[in-house]
Amino acid sequence: MSLLRIENLDARHGQLQAVRGISLEVREGETLALVGANGAGKTTLLRAIAGAHRLAAGRVWLDGADVTQVPAFRRLALGIALVPEGRRLFTDMTVEENLLVARAHGRPGPWTVERVLDAFPMLRARIKAQAGSLSGGEQQATAIGRALVANPRVLLLDEVSLGLAPVAVERVYQCLETLIAGGATIVLVEQDLARALRVATRVACMLEGSVVLEGAAAGMTREQVTEAYFGLGRKTAAQA
């Protein structure tokens, strides 16, 4: 049975329909990479799963339980944690304080502040530093660690590499690959197709709010994803 399942999800920004009838399933231990151009609806979809964006239609299920009407803070306690685009740390608080706040509102489980420091060793020397003083890579590691100490069953990661220097991206992904190898269940939004294909179990490509390509990452070529990414295989109304 799927750990996370969404059925016919619609989500809007005012009159704009950002997500259109999406249905997806994620099994325990899988990494699903969501790819697509800016404006494809990826961030809205993650926020809708986390309960941070109201649905216009559809349902969200976690381990067989319908959580569609459950607010975001309760979904965190049940096991859905979102690392938002832009990280959104408490910048005037220390790294440790950011982690402890999330720990207090999450689920009981094996992830502690110490284990996060083991997983993201670049944070150990910065544990007492204010989050606003960190480098981009350190902030991203803190944001992921903040989600982990809530002991999520499903980790939603939005634009892990956005705005980071290449060396910071490499360090964050090294840590992320360790999480994946340890059996974490992850839905990952990533603009870097090569990285997405490398770490994912499955890939879903979004275009104009819909999933236009989905399948096992191992059986999918970069060319297939690129065509779906830009809608090159779709006929326009004039061409049909």
Q: What is the structure's pLDDT at 94?
A: 95
**Nearest one of 14, 30, 8 to 216, comparing CA atoms:** 30
The reply to whether 108 falls in a domain is yes
Tokens matching residue 117: 């420091």
Helix (H) / strand (E) element for 212: namely strand 210-216
The reply to whether 125 falls in a domain is yes
155 burial level (CB within 10 Å; 0-12, 13-18, 19+): buried
Number of helices followed by number of strands (H, E) in the chain: 8, 10
The reply to whether 32 falls in a domain is yes
pLDDT band (50, 70, 90) for residue 161: confident
- Across the chain, mean pLDDT equals 89
Q: What is the structure's pLDDT at 237?
A: 32
For 119-159, write each residue's pLDDT tens digit: 888 899 999 999 999 998 899 889 999 999 999 999 999 98
Is 49 strand, coil or helix? Answer: helix
The reply to whether 63 falls in a domain is no
For 196-225, write each residue's pLDDT tens digit: 888 999 999 999 999 999 999 988 888 888
Q: What is the structure's pLDDT at 97?
A: 94
**Number of domains present in the structure of the chain:** 1
DSSP per residue over 97-145, as a string?
HHHHHHHHHS--SS--HHHHHHHSGGGGGGTTSBGGGS-HHHHHHHHHH
Q: Is it the case that residue 162 has pLDDT exceeding 60? A: yes
Q: What is the structure's pLDDT at 19?
A: 97
- For residues 101-140, one letter each, b for 16 or more C-beta atoms within 10 angstroms of the residue's C-beta and e for the rest, the string is ebbeebbeeebebeebbebbebbeebeeebbeebebbbbb
For 15-59, write each residue's pLDDT tens digit: 899 999 999 999 999 999 999 988 899 999 999 999 999 999 999
Helix (H) / strand (E) element for 174: namely helix 166-181
CA distance 167 to 147: 23
The reply to whether 51 falls in a domain is no
pLDDT band (50, 70, 90) for residue 240: very low
CA distance 51 to 32: 19
How much of the chain exceeds pLDDT 70, in percent? 97
At 115, which CATH number? 3.40.50.300
Least confident of 46-55, 59-68, 110-119: 110-119
Q: What is the structure's pLDDT at 234?
A: 54
Beta-carbon-side half-sphere exposure of residue 104 (alpha carbons within 13 Å): 6
The reply to whether 205 falls in a domain is yes
β-pair partners for 207? 210
Determine contact, residues 160/5, Cβ cutoff 8 Å. no
Range of the domain at 207: 26-40+81-230
The pLDDT of 162-190, averaged and rounded, is 87
Determine contact, residues 196/220, Cβ cutoff 8 Å. no
The reply to whether 139 falls in a domain is yes
- Select the more confidently predicted residue: 49 or 168: 49
The reply to whether 16 falls in a domain is no
